[in-house]
Amino acid sequence: MTPVHPVSLVSVFGSRSSKDDKPAAPVTADSSQPRDPQAPKGRPTPKRSQAQSQRRMVTAPTTRKEAAKRTREARRADMAKRQEALAGGDERYLPARDKGPVRRFARDYVDARWSMAEFFLPAAILILVLSFLGGQAQALSLMLWMAVIVLIVIDSFILAFRFKKQLKERYPDESHRGATAYALMRTLQMRRMRLPKPQVRRGERP
């Protein structure tokens, strides 16, 4: 029987113990990714895009009633922005028919002058009252009605002619389609009732 040498036993058990006693490498967290406080322990921290998608899923409406409520709130917010735009002339939230430099110039051109068409509604009310009085008042209302119509036609013709001329000089490369009709329709409204609200004063050069 071959004797076991003590040095060989020490070397064998010593090498095994040295491998078992080797300290484990420290685990470092990846600082490039933010830690989610809701992430369970022992699992890797989710990426930023995953965390954001999880938050959106949490805030999504759970019932049809809640979804309808959020839709109504979004619609009210959109209407409020449109009303503010109509009052202040913010191009971002104006309707499509009011957007663009040509339409803005049309509004400023009309708002900077007096127009006969803007007195059409008060004149119509006065003529209607006179027509109910009968006699000479009724004949006067008819004459006044004809005078108002003629003055509105003449003033609208002058406005359209001058407006087209200045429009070609200022915006030769822009589309002028519908701009004249847009300006004439604005003259039919009283100044305080116009939308978007006037941004220039009477007599001011647009």
Contact 106, 163 (CB under 8 A): yes
The reported pLDDT for the residue numbered 186 is 96
At CA 119, angle to CA 115 and CA 121, rounded to 5? 140
Q: Is the pLDDT of residue 164 over 60?
A: yes
Q: Looking at the domain assignment, is residue 131 inside a domain?
A: yes
Whether residues 128 and 74 share a domain: the answer is no
Per the structure, the count of domains in the chain is 2
Based on the domain organization, do 186 and 148 belong to the same domain? yes
Residue 182 lies inside a defined structural domain of this protein? yes
**Residue 69 pLDDT exceeds 50:** yes
34 domain-assigned: no
Q: List the single range of 69-73, 118-122, 158-162 with lowest mean pLDDT.
A: 69-73
Stronger pLDDT, 171 or 78, i.e. the higher one = 171
Largest interatomic CA distance in the chain: 152
User: Is the per-residue pLDDT at 27 higher than 50?
Assistant: no
124 and 179, same domain (yes or no): yes
Residue 84 within a domain:
yes
- The SS3 call for residue 13 is helix
Judged against a pLDDT cut of 90, whether residue 103 lies above it is answered with: yes
- Taking only the tens place, the pLDDT of each residue in 38-50 is 444 555 555 665 6
Model confidence at 68, pLDDT cuts 50, 70, 90, reads confident
Evaluate whether residue 147 is within a structural domain: yes
Residues 75 and 130 in one domain: no
pLDDT score of 129? 92
Find the domain containing 177 and state its range.
114-193
- The answer to whether residue 40 is domain-embedded is no
* Range of weakest confidence among 45-59, 89-103, 114-128, 164-178: 45-59
Please check whether residue 198 is in contact with residue 107, taking contact to mean a CB–CB distance below 8 angstroms.
yes
Does residue 9 surpass a pLDDT of 50?
no
Is the same domain home to 134 and 72? no
In a domain, 173, yes or no: yes
| Confidence at residue 50, expressed as pLDDT on a 0 to 100 scale | 60
The angle subtended at Cα 132 by Cα 130 and Cα 135, nearest 5°, is 75
Task: Answer yes or no: are the C-beta atoms of 91 and 99 closer than 8 Å.
Answer: yes
Reported pTM: 0.62
CA 125 to chain centre: 38
The model's confidence at residue 102, banded by pLDDT at 50, 70 and 90, is very high
Q: Give the residue among 99, 86, 80, 91 at the shortest CA–CA distance from 194.
A: 86
Residue 199 lies in a domain: no
- Interval 187-205: pLDDT, tens: 999 999 998 999 999 999 8
Percentage of residues in the chain with pLDDT exceeding 90? 45
121 and 183 share one domain: yes
- 140 and 188 in a single domain? The answer is yes
